Amino acid sequence: MLSIMNSALQFLATVADPIRLRILHLIKEHRTTPTELRILMSIADEDLASHLNLLVTHGLVKTGKQGAHLKIKHKYAALLTRLFNHFKFRSKKDEVAQADEAKLHALRHPKTAKKKKKAVTKKKAANK
């Protein structure tokens, strides 16, 4: 019984941090790499490594040899989905989530992002 309580407490303490919660959401929704996370979150390498180490140590995230993408461990994926949905964490209307989506898209598709930026600039100029 004590071991189960300790596991639950470690899990809750790990996901209680807003940065780690955001990291978990990004990994779950977008299968991001550590490099993408660092850029998206504007976080130092050491800080990101510290957060990722905690997530890996407590069994929430795994790194694999099948590429650079991080993955949520299967046994926690459904639980995190339910938590995110219940608390409406990073919903489609959330400004931070929208900004993360846009930044990630720009990182992964730089040519498309440049075209989109030019189109927005032209539209603004035309409206003036």
Q: Residue 111, Cα to own-chain centre: how many angstroms?
A: 23
User: In the predicted model, what is the mean pLDDT of residues 111-118?
Assistant: 68
pLDDT above 70 coverage of the chain, percent: 80
CATH of the domain at 38: 1.10.10.10
User: In the predicted model, what is the mean pLDDT of residues 76-103?
Assistant: 81
Confidence of residue 8 (pLDDT cuts 50, 70, 90): confident
Q: How many domains does the chain have?
A: 1
The pair phi, psi for residue 90, each rounded to 5°, is: 55, 50
Question: How far apart, in Å, are the Cα atoms of 4 and each of 10, 19, 126?
Answer: 10, 25, 62
Residue 123 predicted with pLDDT over 80? no
More confident: 119 or 100? 100
User: In the predicted model, what is the mean pLDDT of residues 86-96?
Assistant: 76
Give the range of the structural domain holding residue 27, as residue numbers without chain letter. 2-127
Residue 48 predicted with pLDDT over 90? yes
Residue 47 predicted with pLDDT over 90? yes
Confidence of residue 119 (pLDDT cuts 50, 70, 90): low
Residue 16 predicted with pLDDT over 80? yes
